[in-house]
Structure 1
Amino acid sequence: MQEPLAYENVGTLLDRTTRLMKAMYQRAFREAGYNLTPEQWVLIDHLSNNGPASQTDLANGTFKDAPTVSRIIDKLTKKEFVARTRFPNDRRRYQIALTAYGEETHSVLNPLVKELRIQTWGGLTEGDHDELSRILDTIRDNFA
């Protein structure tokens, strides 16, 4: 069965849009004086909103795989945005928490991120957002 032409490029469209958005965020972070990637921001934001977490909880909460989260944590630790400490009752696991610098960074960049989100949705309605979410959820479910 031959697939309709309209379906051929959905992956390319998603990838192109994601790359453009990531580049926009990274440029904005750099212009604000922070050496952060959007992927690193996601972990900082999650920690700011939810408090200290294990690596597994971060992976689950940010929908990233554990090896990726581990690499991001390593970089954020070197940049002094986060710190690793042992869980008090489980010496095998680490707890990841924002440092004071990480908290300050979140406070400074969060308004910028909100502005970028507004820019992202410029010219679109809440209905457009709902429809896009529905479509993307359906595509995800098609592979689940």
Structure 2
Amino acid sequence: MSPLAYPNVGTVLDRTTRLLKQHYLRAFKDEGIEISTEQWVLLDRLYTDGDASQTDLANGTFKDAPTVSRIIDKLAKKKLVERRRFPNDRRRYQVVITEAGRNIHERIMPYVKDLRRQTWEGLTEADYERLQELLRHIRGNFGEED
């Protein structure tokens, strides 16, 4: 079959992404936690990897700097993270997860693990690796390297 006959891959990916986000948001809401999936991604990154600069967060989550800054603002308003100046570079901020942020992460993580399990149910590690390979290839077709 010609690639032009394939379904619109963007639509298929978008539909799948929206479905996953809906399930994550429902799990968060059921737990009484008002947090978006974008906020969760940054919170999880900080919890897992530790303090980071806004630039590191942007690079590590594949989001642009203004978007990351807005997400950090929202997390800071909820007192889940805070910005601190780097001691050796007063122009940059380090983003630090707060104790409240750690508590939220720990409350949500069992639901996230369950959703991840459900997402990959019936699929193998080889399936996951193949999906990663295909997505890397598609990104590469547009000049993006991992």
Distance in 1 of aligned mates of 2:10 and 2:61: 21
Alignment map for 1:1-144 (pairs within 5 Å): 4-6=4-6, 8-144=7-143
Cα RMSD after superposing both structures: 1.2
Q: Secondary structure at the residue paired with 1:4?
A: helix
What letter corresponds to residue 79 of structure 2 in structure 1? E
What letter corresponds to residue 46 of structure 1 in structure 2? R
Distance in 2 of aligned mates of 1:91 and 1:46: 23
What letter corresponds to residue 63 of structure 1 in structure 2? F
Deviations 1:11-34 (A, max 9, x none): 100000001101110111111111
- In the alignment, structure 1 segments of 5+ residues that lack a partner are none
Moved over 3 A (4+): none
Cα deviation for residue 64 of structure 1 reads: 1.1
Q: Secondary structure at the residue paired with 2:74?
A: helix
Distance in 2 of aligned mates of 1:104 and 1:94: 23
What letter corresponds to residue 126 of structure 1 in structure 2? E
Deviations 1:24-79 (A, max 9, x none): 10111111111111110110011011111110011111111101100100100111
- In the alignment, structure 2 segments of 5+ residues that lack a partner are none
Query: Aligned residues: percent identity?
Result: 60
Residues matched between the structures, number: 142
Cα deviation for residue 140 of structure 1 reads: 0.8
What letter corresponds to residue 5 of structure 2 in structure 1? L
Distance in 1 of aligned mates of 2:119 and 2:19: 11
Q: Secondary structure at the residue paired with 1:133?
A: helix
Deviations 1:53-109 (A, max 9, x none): 110011111111101100100100111110111111111111110111001111111
